[in-house]
Amino acid sequence: MDELLYTLAINKLETLTTEHQQFALEALESGKVVHLPSYYFHSPALADKEVLSETILDGKHKNLSFDYRSGRLGGLQKKHSNPDLQATLQSFMQGYAVFSKLLVDTLLPQYCDSLQWGRTSYRPAEIKNRSSSKRKDDTRLHVDSFAASPVNGLRILRVFCNINPIGEPRVWHLGEPFSKVFRQFVPQIPAYSAKKAKLLHFIKVTKTLRSAYDHYQLHLHDRMKLDDDYQKNVTKKRMDFPAKSTWLVFTDHVSHAALSGQFLLEQTFYLPVSAMASPELSPLSYWEREKFATLDAL
């Protein structure tokens, strides 16, 4: 098993063994990426040239978003000439959501009963050279945390699939283990304030009350991205995820950056720490040991 990657050379789920499942579970929870280089999402929609065009974006968003539970599609250019495109994209992204759920349920059966739906994302635009602030620049190493949407300690598990039609890879950097990132930035992070969290919720900066966990994890995300010396000098490894491949990762744990690539599908799931085989490896456990004994919100 690679230091940063666990590779599963399968092209159908029926060939997964209990050994594959155990190794994948251990790899994910210890901070590795699980890569399936020959397993990917197929859809008739990919024959539609409009689906494979970044002009479908509304200009305000870097991706299309889809909510599997409501069927709502966001980020689409409303004045698009093709009236059937929205239905095509909804079916396309729903198909990917189902594909991702089946993959996680089959590969990681321990999570099946606890997994919670997040959004489905389609990213048809090239990420390289995209203008962005440092905090929003995903080409800089970071761990995931959502400023407006607190997760209250839930794990962020993401399933990515490179559907690039001309064979271009999705290029990432993978950084240091979470333990090293944690030790580097913890001294710089201010203490949590419940009063400030209530104010942020009151003025609708956050959708729900920001927990202590979300405060610390968000500051870790920001400190990583804003530190130019760290971004330049930290040890990192380039990973090229080829077209027609899929990978899974806990993005709240694994230091990562997306350097280049176009036409990517991504499904987010949330997982309670209690559903993990090794909950002591979760970011929540790190913060509890360092900053607080318990979180009232959990």
- The predicted-structure confidence for 211-225, as pLDDT tens digits, reads as follows 999 999 999 999 999
Query: For the segment 42-87, what is each residue's pLDDT rounded down to a tens digit?
Result: 999 999 999 999 999 998 888 999 999 999 999 998 876 677 899 9
Whether 108 is in a domain gets the answer: yes
Dihedral angle, C-alpha 87, 97, 269, 156, nearest 10 °: -90
Strand partners, 36: 246
CB atoms within 10 A of CB 196: 12
Report the chain's terminal Cα–Cα distance, integer Å: 34
How far is CA 22 from each of CA 28, 110, 162, 207, rounded to the nearest angstrom?
A: 10, 10, 25, 36
Whether 256 is in a domain gets the answer: yes
Specify the CATH number for the domain of residue 165. Answer: 2.60.120
Q: What is the pLDDT of residue 271?
A: 98
Whether 295 is in a domain gets the answer: no
SS3 94: helix
Whether 296 is in a domain gets the answer: no
Q: Report, as ranges of residue numbers, the positions in the chain whose pLDDT lies below 70.
A: 1-2, 80-81, 291-298
Q: What is the pLDDT of residue 59?
A: 83
Whether 51 is in a domain gets the answer: yes
Whether 171 is in a domain gets the answer: yes
Q: What is the pLDDT of residue 4?
A: 93
For 66, the domain range is 5-290
Per the structure, the count of domains in the chain is 1
